[in-house]
Amino acid sequence: MATAATSSNMPVLAALTTLLLLAVSSCHASPYYPLELGYYRYKSPQAESIVKAVMEKAIGENPGNGAAVIRMLFHDCFGCDASVLLDPTPFSPTPEKLSPPNNPSLRGFEVIDAIKHALEAACPGIVSCADIIAFAARDASFFLSAGKVGHFDMPAGRRDGTFSNASEPLKFLVPPTSNLTTLVASFAAKGMSPEDLVVLSGAHTVGRSHCSSFVSDRLDVPSDINAGPAGFLKRRCPAKPTKEDDGGAGCCDAE
C-alpha cells in the first residue's frame, strides 16, 4: 500500500524475489515448454539488457510503473502466456483484460508496449511478451529496491497465448475480501502453501490499492491492524468508499 519504495519497504521488496520465483515455478510446471536460463543468448543477446533499460527509464519517470508490472506478472501468471495483454478479437471476444480483477485497475500496458517496441527494433519477432513481463517484473524489484533485491536469473521461453477468457481470473484470483480460510484453500488449489500465500501477499504490497477493496471489511471493523497504519489509511480513504472514489483506471496495483 506504500506509494513508492522506501527503506521501510525492504522486507516486502525482498519478498518480491520469492514471488517472482514462485511465478517461475508455476510457469515451469507446463509440460509443453520447459523454461531455460539464457534462452535468448544466441537469438537476441541484448534482450534482457534492453528490457532492463526501458524499465529503468519507466520507473525513473514513475515508480508506480514498477509496482504495476509486478502486479501484471502475478495476474498473468497462473498461465504466464501474456494473455492478460490481449484486447478483444473475434477469436477472443471477452479477454481476461476485461475481467473485474484486471479492469480497470491493471496498468503498465504502455510500459510493456515500449519494451516490445525496443525489442522489435533490435531482433524482430523473437522475444515473447510473456517473457517480457517476467523480465520486466524482475527488473522492477531491482529498481524499486534500489538494488537491495539483486538482479536474479529469470528463466525464459514462455509462448504467447492468443486467447483468454474473462471468467478465468474470477475463478483463480482471490478477491481482496477473502478470509484466511478461503485464501489458504485457493492457494492450495494451485499447489501453494500458506507460506507462499504470505510471501505473495507481502510482495504485493508495493504500489497503491483501492480504498473500496479494504475499508468495509478491514478498516471499518474491529481489527488488529497497527494503530499507526490504520489511522493513516483512515485519513486517506472515505468512510464508505465506492468504486467511483477510487480514481478509476491507472490508479492502483495492490489487490
Ligand X SMILES: *[C@@H]1O[C@H](CO)[C@@H](O)[C@H](O)[C@H]1NC(C)=O
Q: Which of 101, 100, 77, 76 is CA-nearest to residue 86?
A: 76
CB 112 within 8 A of CB 160: no
Rounded distance between C-alpha atoms, residue 172 and residue 238, angstroms:
29
- Angstrom distances, CA of residue 44 to CA of 57, 151, 252: 21, 19, 33
CA distance 245 to 211: 8
Residue 69 or 86: the one with the smaller Cβ distance to ligand X is 86
- The CA-CA-CA angle for residues 40, 54, 57, to 5°, reads 155
User: Which listed range, 8-16, 18-26, 175-183, 218-226, lies at the site for ligand X (CB under 6 A)?
Assistant: 175-183
Contact between 182 and ligand X by CB under 6 A: the answer reads: yes
Residue 7 touching ligand X (CB under 6 A): no
By CB under 6 A, is residue 93 in contact with ligand X?
A: yes
Per CB under 6 A, does 181 bind ligand X? yes
Residue 191 is a binding residue for ligand X (CB under 6 A): no
CB 35 within 8 A of CB 155: yes
Could you give the CA distance from residue 68 to residue 7 in angstroms, rounded to a whole number?
Answer: 19
d(CA 97, CA 164): 8
- For ligand X, the closer of residues 171 and 240 by Cβ is 171
| 151 among annotated binding-site residues | no
Which of 75, 117, 151, 210 is the catalytic position? 75
Active site residue 28: no
Task: Please state the closest distance from residue 94 (CB atom) to ligand X, in A.
Answer: 6
Nearest to ligand X of 25, 167 (CB atom): 167
Residue 167 makes contact with ligand X by CB under 6 A: yes
Residues numbered 94 to 153 that lie near ligand X (CB under 6 A) are: 94
Cβ-proximal residues to 126 (8 Å cutoff; 6+ apart), any chain = 40, 43, 44, 47, 119
Stretch that binds ligand X, among 29-37, 179-187, 225-233, 239-247 (CB under 6 A): 179-187
Minimum distance between the CB of residue 91 and ligand X, rounded to whole angstroms?
9
Minimum distance from residue 168 beta carbon to ligand X (Å): 7
Distances (CA, A) of 36 to 131, 138, 156, 212, 214: 11, 16, 5, 41, 39
Nearer to ligand X, 126 or 185 (CB): 185
Binder to ligand X among 32, 42, 124, 179 (CB under 6 A)? 179
Tell me whether residue 90 or residue 228 sits nearer to ligand X (CB atom): 90
User: Binding residue per annotation — 96?
Assistant: yes
Q: Which residues bind ligand X (CB under 6 A)?
A: 93-94, 165, 167, 179, 181-182
Annotated binding-site residue numbers: 76, 79, 81, 83, 96, 204-205
Active-site residues, by number, are 75
Annotated binding-site residue numbers for Ca(2+): 76, 79, 81, 83, 96, 205
